[in-house]
């Protein structure tokens, strides 16, 4: 059994969450559930980045105390995880978790003891939206390439981290796969930055500019730069600096997987591994980088005013699985993808309800009327063999960070099952059994009907098992309709013959017209 530690990035809480962050949550959750079903020892963490300057300025603009503003929005992010059926064991708020200051200070002191922190006067162009300095050559017509806003000129004397010291080591890690970055084009972006050479980075801010908000520098009068502070949250949830037990078990002793958006891949693939190496800790094992959710081709952003409220969607469909399905199936795992209410409704009605829900309902209705819901013996057949190949296809999609492909494989099999069902027309056999048949004809017809329905139930059971990491609520409901328990592990025996299924399976109810 492998130990696996999975984290999402932690969003700024300068505004309410939007559907773009929901993408990251459901991707990371699918991996956590998948690894648990494989039998691994999984710890899954989410959280919020409370200590950024943009949070402070947003609170001031709203006329609220920073702590009240931050707490209210952090509550909304944590609540969203519950609404989306996210299975995290830990949620770290960097301004409210009593372990966080101890963790940041332990990391800071370890870097200092290694000779990687020094004082330096600095002047640079700063984007509050990104919470980072930019070189003039990195700007887009003088503006932030991410937010399109003018940058602020900042002059300070700060603590700096010797990032340049770790360029060669990071290059070796990424090139050899010791630090795996997927998809490949994100890895290539990181390699290009590393081959260009690294400059040291500022890791503190004046308390005045930060309005006194943030983690104080140990034995100093400044605050820790928000990225050094925020990245440390991955160790806060393991009680680094206060209790070494979880850190030793999960960070030092297992796989360390970060799920992050492309806009912050540099921080996770360069800054964070270098800080860890300086502190004498192993770097991440894998960084899975997703793209942006767009609307009409434009990136969704809290400050852009085009955010889509995921809570509204979940309430509208009365299940998180409509949104989970769309984000995991119709947005390629490592790329940008567009969202619209119309596409979501088409996925719900045409794919979830029209393909999977309709198949399950027809099969179980026939099973109820013809065999009182009792599943006949499952035969050896080409269809059963095809169903048996589905879990391995889904496993390959997880291994390749192509969750959309895994769901496409599942629904390709569902399409084949629907075509097979139409070709075999078991309803005709069920109708024939009501007619006056000879004993031999009755026996042959009943056997053919039983075989048809048993194969379909077996296929639906495999579909339900494969859907568990993607659509946990709907997959559990399908297991229940089939009369079988949800497995604890993928490898648990799958037995449907002799169980009593429900007479119908309305998994995805038709919605009233808006």
pLDDT tens digit sequence for 247-256: 999 999 899 9
Mean pLDDT taken over the chain: 93
Q: What is the pLDDT of residue 96?
A: 87
pLDDT in tens, 378-428: 999 999 999 999 999 999 999 999 999 999 999 999 999 999 999 999 999
SS3 state of residue 122: strand
117-127 and 90-93: which strand pairing? unpaired
Q: What is the pLDDT of residue 121?
A: 86
Q: What is the pLDDT of residue 130?
A: 60
**Confidence check: pLDDT of 302 > 60:** no
Q: Which CATH number fits domain 340-482: 3.40.1190.20, 1.10.730.10, 1.10.3720.10, 3.90.226.10?
A: 1.10.730.10
Residue 209 pLDDT grade (very low, low, confident, very high; cuts 50, 70, 90) = confident
- Among left, alpha and beta (phi > 0; psi -120 to 50; other), residue 37 is alpha
Q: What is the pLDDT of residue 131?
A: 64
- What residues does CATH 3.40.50.620 cover in the chain? 3-314
pLDDT in tens, 85-106: 999 999 999 998 989 999 999 9
Q: What is the pLDDT of residue 143?
A: 77
**Confidence check: pLDDT of 469 > 60:** yes
Number of H helices, E strands in the chain: 20, 15
Among 325, 290, 307, residue whose Cα is nearest residue 85: 325
Q: What is the pLDDT of residue 512?
A: 62
Mean pLDDT of 429-446: 91
Mean pLDDT of 105-120: 97
Residue 129 pLDDT grade (very low, low, confident, very high; cuts 50, 70, 90) = low
**Confidence check: pLDDT of 301 > 70:** no
Q: What is the pLDDT of residue 78?
A: 97
Quote the tokens at residue 243: 């209790």
Q: What is the pLDDT of residue 304?
A: 59
Cα 252 from Cα 248, distance rounded (Å)? 5
pLDDT: is 513 or 282 the higher one? 282
Length in residues, the chain? 514
Mean pLDDT of 435-449: 92
Residue 359 pLDDT grade (very low, low, confident, very high; cuts 50, 70, 90) = very high
Residue 141 pLDDT grade (very low, low, confident, very high; cuts 50, 70, 90) = confident
Residue 270 pLDDT grade (very low, low, confident, very high; cuts 50, 70, 90) = very high
Q: Which residues contact 465 (CB under 8 A, 6 or more apart)?
A: 391, 475, 487, 490, 494
**Confidence check: pLDDT of 166 > 90:** yes
Quote the tokens at residue 10: 């932690």
List beta partners, residue 222: 206
Q: What is the pLDDT of residue 298?
A: 85
**Confidence check: pLDDT of 179 > 60:** yes
Q: Does the 3-314 domain belong in CATH 3.30.565.10?
A: no
Cα 397 from Cα 410, distance rounded (Å)? 11
Residue 128 pLDDT grade (very low, low, confident, very high; cuts 50, 70, 90) = low
Tell me which H or E stretch contains 99: none
């Amino acid at each position: 059994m492998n130990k696996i530690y999975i984290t999402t990035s932690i969003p700024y809480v300068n505004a309410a969450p939007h559907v773009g962050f929901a993408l990251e949550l459901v991707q990371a959750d699918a991996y956590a559930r998948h690894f648990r079903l494989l039998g691994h020892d999984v710890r899954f963490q989410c959280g919020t980045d409370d200590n950024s300057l943009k949070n402070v300025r947003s609170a001031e603009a709203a006329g609220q105390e920073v702590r009240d503003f931050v707490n209210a929005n952090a509550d909304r992010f944590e609540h969203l995880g519950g609404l989306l059926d996210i299975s995290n064991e830990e949620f770290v708020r960097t301004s409210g978790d009593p372990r966080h200051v101890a963790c940041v200070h332990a990391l800071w002191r370890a870097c200092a003891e290694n000779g990687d922190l020094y004082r330096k006067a600095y002047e640079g162009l700063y984007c509050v939206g990104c919470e980072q300095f930019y070189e003039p050559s990195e700007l887009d017509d003088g503006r932030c390439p991410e937010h399109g806003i003018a940058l602020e000129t900042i002059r300070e004397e700060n603590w700096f981290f010797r990032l340049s010291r770790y360029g060669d080591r990071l290059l070796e890690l990424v090139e050899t796969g010791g630090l795996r970055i997927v998809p490949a084009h994100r890895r290539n972006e990181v390699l290009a930055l590393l081959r260009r050479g690294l400059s040291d980075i500022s890791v503190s801010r004046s308390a005045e500019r930060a309005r006194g908000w943030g983690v104080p520098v140990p034995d100093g009068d400044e605050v820790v730069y928000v990225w050094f502070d925020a990245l440390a949250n991955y160790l806060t949830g393991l009680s680094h600096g206060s209790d070494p037990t979880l850190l030793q078990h999960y960070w030092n002793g297992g796989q360390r997987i970060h799920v992050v958006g492309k806009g912050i891949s540099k921080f996770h693939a360069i800054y964070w591994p270098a800080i860890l190496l300086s502190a004498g800790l192993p770097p991440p094992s894998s960084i899975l980088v997703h793209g942006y959710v767009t609307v009409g081709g434009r990136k969704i952003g809290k400050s852009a005013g085009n955010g889509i409220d995921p809570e509204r969607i979940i309430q509208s469909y009365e299940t998180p699985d409509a949104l989970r399905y769309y984000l995991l199936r119709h947005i390629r795992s490592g790329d940008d993808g567009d969202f619209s209410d119309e596409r979501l409704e088409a996925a719900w009605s045409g794919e979830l309800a029209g393909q999977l829900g309709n198949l399950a309902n027809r099969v179980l209705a026939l099973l109820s009327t013809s065999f009182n819901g009792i599943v006949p013996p499952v035969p050896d057949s080409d269809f059963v063999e095809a169903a048996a190949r589905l879990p391995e296809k889904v496993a390959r999609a997880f291994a390749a960070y192509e969750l959309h492909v895994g769901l496409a494989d599942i629904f390709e099999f569902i399409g084949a099952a629907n075509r097979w069902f139409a070709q075999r027309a078991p309803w005709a056999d069920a109708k024939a059994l009501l007619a006056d048949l000879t004993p031999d004809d009755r026996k042959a017809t009943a056997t053919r009907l039983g075989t048809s329905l048993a194969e379909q139930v077996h296929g639906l059971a495999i579909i339900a098992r494969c859907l568990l990491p993607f659509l946990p609520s709907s997959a559990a409901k399908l297991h229940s309709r089939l009369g079988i328990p949800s497995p604890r592990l993928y490898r648990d025996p799958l037995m449907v013959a002799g169980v009593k299924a429900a007479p119908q399976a309305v998994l995805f109810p038709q919605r009233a017209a808006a």
